[in-house]
Amino acid sequence: MALDQDTFDLLKDTVRRFVRERLVPAEDAVEEHDDVPPDILQDMKDLGLCGVSIPEEYGGLGLSMAQECEVAYELGQTALAFRSAVGTNIGIGSQGILMDGTPAQKAEYLPRIASGELIMSFALTEPDAGSDAASLKTRAVADGSDYLLSGSKRYITNAPRAGGFTLMARTGGAGASGISAFIVPATLPGITIGKPDRKMGQRGTKTCDVFLDQVRVPAANLIGGEPGKGFKTAMKVLDRGRLHISAIACGMARRILDVSIAYAQNRKQFGSRIGDFQLVQAMLADSQAELLAGWALVRETARAYDAKPPGASDPDVSMQASCTKLFTTEMVGRVADRGVQVHGGAGYMNEYKVERFYRDVRLLRLYEGTSQIQQLVIGKHLMRAP
Ligand code: COS
């Protein structure tokens, strides 16, 4: 699946202009009100951003992973809350249905997710199951032609905005093979949305707990129609998500570098622009080199991702996706740290964008698998090699 090159070039150009002309000027409002203005969210939906990863037959734009990463790179160059508002529809909320859903599930949900009419969240994490996702406790007990779901989910991105959840629950015994994935409409009786989380950064992104108390979900909403497949679905979704986050990390590194260069060109000390001092140039140069390396890695891994059969998992590609997330999210952390350093004392002041971005990028090393989980995935893969 891929959009033809000419149409894609047009789309990318439109997104780039939209980011510069519409989103960047709204960054301060997002920070101040801790929300994405509804008219901007609507514009993002109208641009088709909720459906970039969904095939055209279901109303999406049908981008390849490589093309999606190019779009994510553009979206990464502004407050990360904008990307987050549509990010679960693009990735972790929709892809389980696309990869493993039945034809009826795809036909029912994907068009509404692609248009943004339905905001879909991904509910895997729980209070006692974060990195150790296979230990999740939310139970789904068969009851006639339904399942009854009870448990709690934590830090669920977009839950306050969501019309539905791709939700992992335990239908069988302990471990990964006892987990199933469900499509759970947010309006079902027994679902309670918790208070919005107060976070270090990324103001305007919405996360909270989701509680389920004997929520009656039709068996028809079991993704793929077969229990016990949910953990693998979640892992495949995360492989893809990790690449998307990597592209976002590179986009944000680009933005931080741009604001740091602009500052170094304007700020004068000792009678010169600070950017004329070699010690400042060294910081900018390190960030530029690391950004180029990270972005090349994203493009190469996205190419490998697109080369495998759609929806299939390939341990080599999973390992590469983990390498890419590990490198790029750690890289943007270093770029942000240097960005603050280039700004000197001003970099610690919240009227400078770099202070905000420094806090915002910290999350990238945590969600969709911490850096340490990426190291584990890579290490395990290497130790399996013959
Ligand atoms: N694609 C498809 N299948 C996968 C897979 C992948 N990327 N990764 C693992 N699996 C399969 C394994 O092949 C195994 O299947 P079999 O039992 O048939 O062999 C099964 O899933 C269990 O895998 P494994 O034993 O490796 O699972 P672990 O419990 O050791 O967990 C980690 C693996 C730690 C990698 C996983 O729990 C993880 O990614 N944790 C982080 C969760 C996360 O990212 N949370 C963020 C939430 S969204 S913000």
Q: pLDDT tens across 61-92, in order?
A: 999 999 999 999 999 999 999 999 999 999 99
What is d(CA 17, CA 258) in angstroms, rounded to the nearest whole number?
16
How confident is the model at residue 307, as a pLDDT? Answer: 97
Phi, psi of 107 (to 5 degrees): -65, -35
Whether 231 lines ligand 1, by a CB cut-off of 6 Å, is yes
Mind giving me the DSSP string for 271-316? TEEGGGSHHHHHHHHHHHHHHHHHHHHHHHHHHHHHHSPTT---HH
231, 248, 313, 367, best to mutate for ligand 1 pocket (most atoms within 8 Å of CB): 231
Alpha-carbon span 276 to 274, nearest angstrom: 5
Using the mean position of ligand 1's atoms as its centre, give its distance from the Cα of residue 369 in Å: 10
Expressed in angstroms and rounded, the spacing between residue 78 Cα and the centre of ligand 1 is 31
User: What pLDDT shows up at residue 310?
Assistant: 86
Residue 133 CB–ligand 1 contact under 6 Å: yes
The type of residue at 147 is Y
Q: What is the dihedral of CA 287, 289, 293, 295, to 10 degrees?
A: 60
What is the C-alpha separation between 254 and 336, in angstroms, rounded?
Answer: 10
Q: What is the pLDDT of residue 238?
A: 97
pLDDT in tens, 280-333: 999 999 999 999 999 999 999 999 999 999 888 999 999 999 999 999 999 999
State pLDDT tens for residues 118-168.
999 999 999 999 999 999 999 999 999 999 999 999 999 999 999 999 999
The whole-number pLDDT of residue 231 equals 98
Both tokens of residue 159?
């839950």
Specify the CATH architecture of the domain 231-384. Up-down Bundle (1.20)
Q: Which atom of ligand 1 is nearest to the CA of 176?
A: 22
Q: Specify whether domain 120-227 bears CATH 2.40.110.10.
A: yes
Which atom in ligand 1 lies closest to the alpha carbon of residue 377?
35
User: What is the pairing mode between strands 179-185 and 191-193?
Assistant: unpaired
Ligand 1 in reach of 140 Cβ (< 6 A): no
Atom of ligand 1 minimally distant from the CA of 125 = 47
pLDDT per residue as tens digits for the range 219-230:
999 999 999 999
Q: Is 239 in the pocket of ligand 1 (CB under 6 A)?
A: yes
Query: In this predicted model, what pLDDT tens digit does every residue of 26-57 receive, in sequence order?
Result: 999 999 999 999 999 999 999 999 999 999 99
User: CATH number of the domain at 5-115, out of 3.20.20.450, 1.10.540.10, 1.10.150.20, 3.90.700.10?
Assistant: 1.10.540.10
- The whole-number pLDDT of residue 293 equals 98
Tell me the pTM: 0.97
CA of 384 to the centre of ligand 1 (A): 15
- Residue 232 in contact with ligand 1 by CB distance below 6 A: yes
Shortest-distance atom of ligand 1 to CA 122: 48
Q: Where are the beta strands (DSSP E) in the chain?
A: 120-123, 139-143, 146-157, 164-170, 179-185, 191-193, 207-218, 268-269, 272-273
Active centre residues (catalytic): 368
Q: What is the pLDDT of residue 92?
A: 96
Domain boundaries, the chain: 5-115, 120-227, 231-384
- d(CA 119, ligand 1 centre) in Å: 25
pLDDT at 385: 81
- Residue 372 Cβ inside 6 Å of ligand 1? The answer reads no
Average pLDDT of the residues in 101-106: 98
Instruction: Measure 89 CA to ligand 1 centroid, in angstroms.
Output: 22
Per-residue model confidence as pLDDT tens digits over 334-367: 999 999 999 999 999 999 999 999 999 999 999 9
* Count, residues in the chain: 386
